[in-house]
Structure 1
């Protein structure tokens, strides 16, 4: 069949066929989808409150429209393609889900509900009773409660001047900021404020401020702590002085000044033990019955030549060949010295504090020299390296020598024993013409039978 007004074969083109199918499909025909809408007056609701949810669709044949939620609910009305529900006691962010059927096909829709709470407590923590002028003042604000936290900001204020703006993190949230206290901050009011921004959800910007706190500042000169020689050569006389402004009492290393407003000082002869020594000076000022304190410190550097600690640098070492060892040796001084150990004669350098393989050529005496701009110091370290094979040969030779001595001793004892048991000769007193006769000691002497 060819529709009137169309050329034969035109229906064969894919585009025209698709348009014809779409135009001829009746409303609600199978294959056509109708979304299920979830509507509320505002997706942001106060904690503990209630809100109305409307589930609706344009499907001409809707069926079984329902609301799925963990909250308490109550149907308040329905009609063709819609159903309304009242939800109660919302305590936290939640999701509401509408479901239904359109032409026997299930369809769903959902919406996230955000619950907001105003902070329960906004407090600027107490300020120092007296704040020194010229030093940093740390402001700390604590915020308990408040939701959603992603929309909650904490602002620190001096009067109406904004000093810092930070997100509220943690529970309770604590926000800190440091500001330099000046003389103009005396009796100034400091506070903090929270801002819960619900404008993206159709609501407004909600602010909650802490009670203001008043700052009292004080300022006095000092204490000023000086060294006559901040970097003094060893043996130099160094004078340490501490002073402050009028009416200020200073104390240096536990020694007070003669009277308020006067300096205190002492002198020392700089030695190696004074290097990096820290001197402390405190200043006190009485204001309106309050005693205010400030402190100062300074470090002395003493310049002295290299010194090798012989307790940490052994002068005689005995090591085996082909073993790993570390030569431990330390030198001190200011400025820091360099330390090198060279073998006498060959100038072979042995690393210090680093593992190395000991060989026979390391055997010998070493000059360990510490050097800096303040001088040098040298000590001798003797390193004895023995060959394990040579030691074994020495042991064998020693054993053989002992065996040889034992053998010789045994032979001498044997010979001596043989001589002791040899013949004994007697002189015949009856006639001098007869030859000597021998008598064996083992034989018994018999009587003449006649």
Structure 2
């Protein structure tokens, strides 16, 4: 088909036409360009030329659409369009009875039609293999095509993609650091050897979430028994999981979800709930702690027993009695429990009620009575106790152990008069000397004087009676001690005076002897002198 397009200019035609000079009896056909590199669906101009000079028939054989653009005596210019794949167009000639041909190579390049990374699992367990799969459809030439698997900006794998490859894979070991990481697949068509560039196609980015769970189930920290009328804190926790911030943990008691407070931190998660135990509760309840992370569920269960146990009732017929009065002590148990101990009562088997009677004495004052009841619940024995204190009113007591009858103190010393009266109510105590009624202070005596010597009557009294006791106080003091001191001082003074006199006498004697020696020496010198 003859083209209606404009003729190429002479310079362009000269670049496309290969000038062939025929040899004698020889003909030659050529094709230009010998090699072409173009995008899929593109077009190229092909020149067929011949050295034949007589009876020439020249043409181009190709599978693609072609237009004859120009022609001359021994050449033709064609345009091939909508080229879809690699091919080899063929220029042929009939020169007389001779036939010859020449072929070119057309290489088509195209970008991949599909670059897709398979969806990642919703959650990937830490320590497990994760296989990345990238599908590559199309793209040419495959010898210059490769695929790159990326984690963020990190290259995990760089693999060639040949004509038989539809999918490339790479396996990584999932870690906690991969949580919320981005994974993608890139293809690279390297056309730089052909003077073009490096072209990339990018898949959709996939996001990964990783998780890690310990080998243990959540830990329930709660008693097995719940008492009616109490508030009980239920607590459940698990550590060693990841990511704790995305875990959900909750508590269920019976068939109801508990209102709870959840805590997440690092690799620890917990749930706590406060339960008001009432009579409406079933006697046995199933407590469940459930943890949900990723597509995993960990659960711990425990059966709780609800019980009602009232403390025993301990009563005294009178809490305050006078000495000698009778007091009945009684302890009663309720809610199916049994009294197992009542202090003061004779021993016996557990019964719902125990009592006894006593005659109150001073020794029973502030006596504490103890009652204990026991209840069997789910194979465990529980105890509850009550205590009461008895007050006995009795008159004053003042005996030898609390107030000695004889005291001996030294004059000038500090002493403490220990005299204690007992009774309920507490009695008042005074000690007065029988002779003159002088008061002797009970407690610390700062300085003992000889005038305090004598016999005292200590009197304790209260609304329940009075009692007296004689106390003899002897104060020690000695006159002979003063005389001995005076004699000693006199002797010492006399000895000192005699010592002074002896010293003076001896000193004067030495002076006299010295003067006598000097006088004798003078006389001797005078006698030895010559006469005048």
> If the length of structure 2 is used for normalisation, what is the TM-score?
0.38
Greater relative CO (CA pairs within 8 A, separation 6+): 1
